[in-house]
Amino acid sequence: MQNKIYFGDNLPILRSMPDESVDLIYIDPPFNTGKRQTRVQIRTVQSEAGDRTGFSGRRYQTVRLGKKGYADLFDDYLQFLEPRLVEAHRVLSPRGSLYLHLDFREVHYCKVLLDQIFGRASFLNEIIWAYDYGGRTKKKWPPKHDNILLYAKNPDDYTFNVKEIDRIPYMAPGLVGPEKAARGKLPTDTWWHTIVPTNSKEKTGYPTQKPLGILNRIISASSNPGDLVMDFFAGSGTTGASCLELGRRFILIDDNLQALQVMAKRFAANPEIEWIGFNPAEPQ
């Protein structure tokens, strides 16, 4: 199968895909899901002074209940994510796994949701991606990490290529001897990695772009050459860029025209991509 990039809402596209057809899924969904976050709740009450006339000529007034509370926002967010995660679980191949990239505000709600969909036993890791960038609050510990949840479809048998993982320097190389120091050590579940550096070649201009180094580590460990990797919140297409580097096939989906335009530029040198719902050659 050719690499594919879809322009559109991911849910109907996911629903059209066959069971157990994807070997690895990485997603980095936006918390800001548009209207769902800013909706103001209203209630209609009977009132002689009301501004609307309803059944039997009664007058009604619309009462604004104010913006949704924090818990309601998460309810909406989970309602948005849940059907997509159910599809992710369905399309994963028997040895496949899912990486869900979140931040410290959302991760706990999503952990509970994924435990329900995959089963608690399928939870393998919460990866902490730590970086050092931007201002630091003086009112609490400055949050400088993202959280990436890893679930396997089958916790007893999944792809994990430990030999393919990039090694990192020991903190005290003098204590381990020159051979080990030269080889470096395996990373743990806490990854120190810079954000995409401004003015770097990697930078696409897409605001939520994730570093290629993070995706390369995930894809090397949790898929094999030739496997099919999917990212259905693709943004600037980092997952696709990593697949091209590492010899994996990919499916990317995004419903934002700007994301498709960025990907068209990023993948301009790769004619082997099938674009669905979008023509990269046409000025948009």
Ligand X SMILES: C[S@@+](CC[C@H](N)C(=O)[O-])C[C@H]1O[C@@H](n2cnc3c(N)ncnc32)[C@H](O)[C@@H]1O
Q: Which residue is nearest to ligand X (CB)?
A: 235
The bridge status of strand 273-276 relative to strand 52-53 is: unpaired
Q: Nearest distance from residue 91's CB to ligand X, in Å?
A: 15
The letter for the amino acid at 24 is L
Nearest residue (CB) to ligand X, 96 versus 240: 240
Angstrom distance (rounded) from CA 128 to CA 144: 10
Nearest residue (CB) to ligand X, 95 versus 244: 244
Nearest residue (CB) to ligand X, 185 versus 193: 193
Query: 104: which residues sit within 8 A by CB, 6+ positions away?
Result: 143, 145, 146, 147
Nearest to 114 by CA among 79, 147, 145, 89: 89
Beta partners for residue 94, in sequence order: none
Nearest residue (CB) to ligand X, 218 versus 221: 218
Q: Nearest distance from residue 5's CB to ligand X, in Å?
A: 11
Angstrom distance (rounded) from CA 32 to CA 252: 20
Q: Which helix (H) or strand (E) holds 110?
A: helix 107-118
Nearest residue (CB) to ligand X, 152 versus 259: 259
Angstrom distance (rounded) from CA 126 to CA 257: 32
Q: Nearest distance from residue 93's CB to ligand X, in Å?
A: 22
DSSP 195: P
Binding site for ligand X (CB under 6 A): 9-10, 28-30, 206, 208-210, 233, 235-236, 238, 253-256, 259
Question: What tokens appear for 91 in the block?
Answer: 């399309």
Q: Nearest distance from residue 197's CB to ligand X, in Å?
A: 14
Q: Nearest distance from residue 240's CB to ligand X, in Å?
A: 10
Q: Nearest distance from residue 176's CB to ligand X, in Å?
A: 35
Nearest residue (CB) to ligand X, 29 versus 96: 29
Angstrom distance (rounded) from CA 52 to CA 6: 44
Angstrom distance (rounded) from CA 81 to CA 117: 11
Q: Nearest distance from residue 179's CB to ligand X, in Å?
A: 37
Q: Alpha-carbon torsion 80, 86, 91, 95, what sign?
A: positive
Nearest residue (CB) to ligand X, 21 versus 208: 208
